[in-house]
Every structure is written in C-alpha cells, then in structure tokens.
Amino acid sequence: MIGQFTTIALISFIAFIAPLLAERVRVPAIVLEIILGAIFGISFLNLIQESEWLSFLSLFGLIFLMFLSGLEIDFDVISKGRDVLSVIAFFLISLSLATFFSFLLNLNLFYAIILTNVAVGVVVSSLREMRLEKEKFGQINIVAAFITDFSTMFLLSLYFLSGINQIIFAFLIIAAFLAAYRFGKLAIWYFPNFVSRWFTDEPSEIGVRGSLAIMILFVGLSSLLGVEAILGAFLAGVLLSLTFRGGKKLYDKLYGMGYGFFIPIFFIKTGSELNLTAEMLSLILTLLLVSFAIKIVPSLIFSGEFGTRSAVAMGLLQSTKLSLTIAGVSIAVAASVISRAEATALISFTVISCLLSPTLFRMVYSTGK
C-alpha cells in the first residue's frame, strides 16, 4: 500500500511541475507529462510502478478526458460556420485518404481514424497565438477541427464494437442521449431556478455533482451494455455542451478537476509504459508523412479563397494530434487491436506531431503573408 501511494505521490509531483516546465519550453503540458512519464517509467528510471490504485486513477483520467472532449464541442461555432459544406468535404477527403494509405501500408482501419483526428486544443491555441481565431481563415480551421474531432471520436467508438448486439446497444446509448437532451431542455424550461444553481458558487457544488453523476451514469450504461466507456463519457460531455451552451464557471471547475489531477495521471502513466526502439522509427516517420499528406491535399480546396500557402498551412495545422489519439491508442492496446510496440510508436508520433505541426504552420503561414 505504501509503495502504491509513493508512486501516486511521484506522479502528482510530475503533474505539478509539468505545466511549469511546459511554459518555459513553450510546449503543451500534455506532451511534457508523457515525456516525464517516459523518463520515470520503464525505459529509464523505472520509478513508476504499476498498481491497482494507479490503474483505476488512470482509467478515470481517460474517462474524464473523453467527457471533457465532448464538453469542448462548441455547437455555436459549428452552426455559425458559413463554409460547413466545404469543411465536411475536407474531412471526408482526409478520411478517404487515410483509409487508402492504411490499406496500402497493410495497417488496420484504426490507423485511418487516428490519422484523420486533430487536436482541437492545439489548433485553437495556435490560431490565438497568431491572432487569427476571429478571421475567416481561423474560423474555418476551428470548425474543421471541431467537426473532425467529433466525427473521429464517434468513429473510434464504433470501431471497437463487435457483433450486432453491441451495435444495437450503441444505438440504445444514443437514444438515451437524445432522451436526456430532451429531458434537460424541459428541466431548463420548468425548473429554471434549480438549473441556475448548477452555475453558482454554492457550497454543495450541485453543478459539479450533477455533471459527474451524468458522466458516470452514461459510463455505467455503456459498461452495462458492453460498449466502450469512452462513448458514454463523450456523449455525457456533448450532452452538457449541447444542453447548456455555456456555463463557464461550471466548466472551469470540471476542467480544474480533470486537467488538475485525473487526466495528468493518465498521460504520465501512458508515458511511463513507453519503450521506444530503433525499429519503430520507420513507422513513426511513415505516420508523420502520411498525416501531413492526408491533411494538406484536401486543404487545397481552400486555396482559391486563401491562397496556396495558407491552404498548405491549414493542412499542417490540422495534422496535429494529441489527446484523443493517445486515448484511442490506450483503448486499442487493451482491446488487442494493436501491439504495445505499435502503441509506443503511435504515442511517439503523437508527441512529435504536436511539436512539429504547429511550428510548421507558423512558418508556412507567415511566409505566405
């Protein structure tokens, strides 16, 4: 028991210093959490030991990550996008190219979904740094990232379904989601005073308790029906985002809980399990090249409006991977879809992509201007 808490104490310390160091070196904290996890993990110092407590906290961190991923979906941004059809075309072409290259390289469809995905947080942060988020170019990038993230998250959930029963059960969860959304709208209409308490600073923290109850309810329903828990957690987040369309104070508390403790444990533990070898470098390089190709080619449909350089810059930015990719890899390993060696290569590719793609975007877009 003491050893378990020693490991958790070490991880808590890493989670504390990671964002401080990340600010210094100007990289996302998640990337540094994975790198520090690898340093203290089996590849180097081997100080992070596996335990039931660590496994549970890591799993809860993954569930919380998927919940907050759903909460990040901004339906106001998507509904106001005037170029949604072009963005949908961009996504479909990207997915088609990813599927083609996956078959060409003798990889399964899981790779196609992962390669199509994009890190919304990194895209938005990069655009804000260059003060482009309010311009049309920035808005199209944001809408493209949201639609891609939502679609690949849903495809990833469906990919892990096996058999007709699980497919039917998945649609039952979606039906429960629609019923809960309808109930939520009625609750806002008939009980506005109670709903407003979710967004205040009262000591009982009704909003936080209610949000966590919804998340765990959907995760429990997923487990009961034999469907991946990530689908339930994601739908719970989408439900809150779609129902309330805002609520910054409540969302800040949930983000504080998730990214302040549970989610870093998941990323640090993931990093601690990495064991990179020279043989994996070829796969990592291949994945990087393919990820750029499947985003740059469809981005050229915007070259008539923004110019070729800016369109290529968009493709580079949209190739950024992070949270969902690592979450998907973790689930794929547990489901025996990929090996641990492949998982290490994919996570390494994700870290490199998160560092390289935004940098290349800034260089190419600046050159284009």
**Integer Cα distance of 333 and 2 in angstroms:** 29
Q: Residue range 338-352: average pLDDT?
A: 91
Predicted pLDDT at 204: 81
What are the phi and psi torsion angles at 68 (to 5°)?
Answer: -70, -30
Burial 144-165 (b: 16+ CB within 10 A, else e): bbbbbbbbbbbbbbebbbeeee
196: its two tokens: 């407003």
pLDDT digits (tens, 9 = 90+) for 152-187: 988 888 888 766 776 777 788 889 998 999 998 888
- The residues spanned by each domain of the chain are 2-368
Q: Is pLDDT of 250 > 60?
A: yes
Burial 229-250 (b: 16+ CB within 10 A, else e): bbbbbbbbbbbbbbbbeebeeb
Question: Predicted confidence band at 246 (pLDDT cuts at 50, 70, 90)?
Answer: low
Q: Residue range 242-267: average pLDDT?
A: 86
CA distances in angstroms from 353 to 152, 288, 296, 329, 345, listed in the order given: 17, 7, 14, 15, 12
**Integer Cα distance of 74 and 62 in angstroms:** 21
pLDDT digits (tens, 9 = 90+) for 18-48: 999 988 888 888 888 999 999 998 878 888 8
What are all long-range contacts of 178-184, with beta carbons under 8 Å and residues at least 24 apart?
Answer: 180/214, 180/239, 181/239, 181/242, 181/243, 184/239, 184/243, 184/244
240: its two tokens: 């809150």
Of 1.20.1530.20, 3.30.70.270, 2.40.30.10, 3.90.1300.10, which CATH number belongs to 2-368?
1.20.1530.20
Q: Residue range 140-161: average pLDDT?
A: 86
Q: Residue range 318-326: average pLDDT?
A: 90
Burial 7-30 (b: 16+ CB within 10 A, else e): bbebbeebbeebbeebeeeebbbb
Q: Residue range 316-334: average pLDDT?
A: 90
Radius of gyration of the chain (CA): 20
Contact 323, 30 (CB under 8 A): yes
**Integer Cα distance of 178 and 182 in angstroms:** 6
Mean pLDDT of the chain: 87
Q: Is pLDDT of 369 > 60?
A: no
**Integer Cα distance of 280 and 263 in angstroms:** 27
Q: Is pLDDT of 188 > 90?
A: no
- The one-letter amino acid code at 20 reads L
**Integer Cα distance of 164 and 139 in angstroms:** 39
Q: Of the spans 120-134, 186-200, 284-298, which averages the highest pLDDT?
A: 284-298
Question: Predicted confidence band at 334 (pLDDT cuts at 50, 70, 90)?
Answer: confident
Predicted pLDDT at 79: 61
- Residue carrying the six token digits 């995760």: 219
pLDDT digits (tens, 9 = 90+) for 65-120: 889 888 877 776 666 655 788 899 999 999 999 999 999 999 999 999 999 999 88
**Integer Cα distance of 364 and 369 in angstroms:** 9
What is the percent of the chain where pLDDT is above 70? Answer: 94
Nearest to 330 by CA among 160, 182, 107: 160
**Integer Cα distance of 233 and 68 in angstroms:** 8
**Other CB atoms closer than 10 Å to residue 179's CB: what's the count?**
10
Predicted pLDDT at 96: 97
110: its two tokens: 């899981």
Predicted pLDDT at 43: 78
Predicted pLDDT at 229: 82
Contact 44, 38 (CB under 8 A): yes
DSSP string, 201-227: --TT-HHHHHHHHHHHHHHHHHHHHT-
